[in-house]
């Protein structure tokens, strides 16, 4: 069959790399893709937000199945649009995608169905929000309601910081309409884990758990980024904890949505903080995590395309009946190499060297997040450039393997964390 993957990051390269291994995939397309993805899929220059353009392409090429990587097309209703035209597509519809597109919607749903999360209040008026801060003090967490490319959350240590965040979101409207409403919630403490499942709204199959590294510098210092590295499995998530998260977070959410007439199909990602009081939900994403996917998929032995097809046809019970997903018991660590200056302003167009060498390494896959092709050379074309994944019998071995590959790759100003996976060793 002909498969179209939508998106252009490291996550989409990992999806394309994995789907290309499926015996069901005859031809793979990616829109818009990147230089790395173009080695496994034919890339077409249509933006992920251009729903009409993507629809026209899918019809023209007679695409059999479309896989949506990022949240924006999902929140714009690409799934509804494709289904209206009888095209098969993997992902939640527009209503279901509100779980990520509106943090207010997600928090209210969690409150209705007793999904554990931080206590919160919702505000659409700056003065009232400020009064709340004055009364309750800091630390607290301020969240813009809508999509803000992962930048809409401020963990404020002081009252001043909280007020400044409120002003920039609600008064200066740095995130536009996404900041028309804000959530002010209690500040939680603990390690974070990413729990990702595939569901057809009845059946739920978990993927291996993982942990992201959100801050730019070693030791979790500096500003938040899209994610500087990930590892899987996350040993901090014991079997017992995993079961508790599945019951109290994942099932309650999917069942709650169903009770409100929303059939959730696709990937559901719960960002969990493991507090002393138990797991608490920080956020939901309606798609695969980036860079978690680059650490999870190298461990997946099952045919991902087959599973996605089953989910879109509401036949995931067939996959469960055969024992669910099958995993490589080894660990995987993915180190993100970023451009100098990221997550602020950064340079593009730097030549990348060493990729021929890493391509020959065993148990290493280099996923491209932002690269361009220039006369056979790879150039950097964004903030997060590469995700270098290494497999090993232990997390320790996987860390060694991925950093051996990182050492072979260079581009001007390359920045990467040196401590990816270290938390798992403690």
Helix boundaries (H) for 25-91: 51-60, 71-75, 78-84
Separation in Å, CA 16 to CA 67, 93, 293, 358, 384: 10, 22, 11, 19, 18
- Does position 100 interact with ligand GLY (CB under 6 A)? The reply is no
Q: How far is the CB of 335 from ligand AMP (least distance, A)?
A: 19
**Residues forming beta bridges with residue 387, ordered by sequence position:** 336, 367
Q: How far is the CB of 155 from ligand AMP (least distance, A)?
A: 5
> Binders of ligand GLY among 193-232, rule CB under 6 A?
212, 227
Question: Which option in ligand AMP, ligand GLY, none does residue 425 bind, with CB closer than 5 to 8 A by kind?
Answer: none
- Does position 292 interact with ligand GLY (CB under 6 A)? The reply is yes
Q: How far is the CB of 361 from ligand AMP (least distance, A)?
A: 31
Question: Which option in ligand GLY, ligand AMP, none does residue 12 bind, with CB closer than 5 to 8 A by kind?
Answer: none
Question: Which option in ligand GLY, ligand AMP, none does residue 289 bind, with CB closer than 5 to 8 A by kind?
Answer: ligand GLY
The span from the CA of 133 to the CA of 138, in Å, is: 7
Residue nearest to ligand AMP (CB): 283
Give the DSSP per-residue string, 185-207: EEPP-SEEEEEEEEE-SS-EEEP
Rg, Å, the chain Cα set:
21
Residue nearest to ligand GLY (CB): 289
> Binders of ligand GLY among 124-153, rule CB under 6 A?
150
Residues 6+ apart with CB under 8 A from 211: 191, 192, 193, 194, 230, 231, 232, 234, 236, 292, 423, 424
- Does position 383 interact with ligand GLY (CB under 6 A)? The reply is no
Q: How far is the CB of 192 from ligand AMP (least distance, A)?
A: 6
Question: Which option in ligand GLY, ligand AMP, none does residue 285 bind, with CB closer than 5 to 8 A by kind?
Answer: ligand GLY
What three-state secondary structure class fits 242?
helix
Total binding residues for ligand GLY by CB under 6 A? 7
The span from the CA of 279 to the CA of 75, in Å, is: 27
Question: Which option in ligand AMP, ligand GLY, none does residue 292 bind, with CB closer than 5 to 8 A by kind?
Answer: ligand GLY
Stretch that binds ligand GLY, among 116-124, 287-295, 326-334, 404-412 (CB under 6 A): 287-295
Nearest 5°: CA angle at 9, between 298 and 272?
Answer: 65
Q: How far is the CB of 287 from ligand GLY (least distance, A)?
A: 8
Instruction: Compute the Cα dihedral for 406, 409, 410, 413 and give only its sign.
Output: negative
Please say which residue, 228 or 304, places its beta carbon nearer to ligand GLY.
228
The single residue among 146, 289, 382, 421 that binds ligand GLY, judged by CB under 6 A, is 289
Strand order in the sheet with 182-186: 120-123, 182-186, 140-144, 153-156
- Does position 290 interact with ligand GLY (CB under 6 A)? The reply is yes
Please say which residue, 50 or 283, places its beta carbon nearer to ligand AMP.
283
**Residues forming beta bridges with residue 269, ordered by sequence position:** 196, 285
Closest CA to 9 of 225, 205, 224, 176: 225
- Give me 407's structure tokens: 């050492």
Question: Which option in ligand GLY, ligand AMP, none does residue 50 bind, with CB closer than 5 to 8 A by kind?
Answer: none
The span from the CA of 65 to the CA of 163, in Å, is: 47
- How many residues are given for the chain? 426
Please say which residue, 36 or 291, places its beta carbon nearer to ligand AMP.
291
Separation in Å, CA 280 to CA 168, 189, 205, 231, 275: 27, 10, 20, 20, 7
Stretch that binds ligand GLY, among 118-126, 283-291, 307-315, 345-353 (CB under 6 A): 283-291
The single residue among 22, 285, 371, 381 that binds ligand GLY, judged by CB under 6 A, is 285
Q: How far is the CB of 377 from ligand GLY (least distance, A)?
A: 29
Question: Which option in ligand GLY, ligand AMP, none does residue 118 bind, with CB closer than 5 to 8 A by kind?
Answer: ligand AMP
Give the DSSP per-residue string, 44-58: ----TT-HHHHHHHH
- Does position 192 interact with ligand GLY (CB under 6 A)? The reply is no
Binding footprint of ligand AMP on the chain (CB under 6 A): 118, 141, 153, 155, 185-188, 192, 214, 271, 282-283
Kindly list the residues in this chain that would bind ligand GLY in the complex (CB under 6 A).
Answer: 150, 212, 227, 285, 289-290, 292
């Amino acid at each position: 069959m002909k498969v179209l993957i939508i998106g252009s990051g490291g996550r989409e390269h990992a999806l394309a790399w994995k789907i290309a291994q499926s015996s069901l995939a005859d031809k793979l397309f990616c829109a818009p893709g990147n230089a790395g993805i173009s080695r496994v899929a034919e890339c077409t220059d249509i933006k992920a937000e251009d729903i009409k353009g993507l629809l026209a392409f899918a019809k023209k090429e007679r695409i059999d199945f479309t896989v949506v990587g990022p949240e924006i097309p999902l929140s714009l209703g690409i799934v509804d649009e494709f289904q209206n035209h009888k095209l098969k597509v993997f992902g939640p519809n527009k209503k279901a995608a509100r779980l990520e597109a509106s943090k207010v919607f997600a928090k209210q749903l969690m409150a209705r169905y007793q999904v554990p999360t931080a206590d919160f209040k919702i505000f659409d008026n700056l003065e009232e929000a400020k009064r709340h801060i004055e009364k309750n003090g800091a630390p607290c967490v301020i969240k813009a309601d809508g999509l803000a490319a992962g930048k809409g959350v401020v963990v404020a240590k002081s009252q001043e910081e909280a007020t400044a965040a409120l002003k920039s979101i609600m008064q200066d409207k740095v995130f536009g309409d996404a900041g028309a409403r804000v959530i002010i919630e209690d500040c939680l403490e603990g390690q974070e884990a990413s729990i990702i499942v595939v569901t057809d709204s009845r059946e739920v199959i978990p993927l291996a758990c993982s942990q992201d590294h959100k801050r730019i510098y070693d030791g979790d210092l500096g500003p938040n980024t899209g994610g500087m590295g990930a590892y899987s499995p996350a040993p901090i998530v014991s079997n017992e904890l995993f079961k508790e998260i599945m019951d109290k977070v994942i099932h309650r959410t999917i069942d709650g949505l169903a009770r409100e007439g929303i059939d959730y199909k696709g990937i559901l990602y719960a960002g969990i903080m493991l507090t002393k009081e138990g797991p608490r939900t920080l956020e939901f994403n309606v798609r695969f995590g980036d860079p978690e996917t680059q650490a999870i998929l190298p461990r997946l032995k099952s045919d991902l395309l087959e599973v996605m097809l089953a989910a879109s046809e509401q036949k995931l019970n067939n996959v469960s009946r055969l024992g669910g997903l099958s995993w490589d018991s080894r660990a995987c660590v993915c180190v993100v190499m970023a451009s100098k200056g990221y997550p602020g302003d950064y340079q593009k167009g730097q030549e990348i060297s060493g990729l021929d060498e890493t391509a020959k390494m065993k148990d290493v896959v280099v996923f491209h997040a932002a690269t361009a092709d220039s006369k056979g050379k790879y150039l950097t074309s964004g903030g997060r450039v590469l995700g270098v994944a290494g497999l090993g019998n232990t997390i320790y071995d996987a860390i060694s393997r991925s950093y051996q590959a990182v050492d072979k790759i260079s581009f001007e100003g390359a920045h990467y964390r040196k401590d990816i996976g270290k938390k798992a060793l403690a």
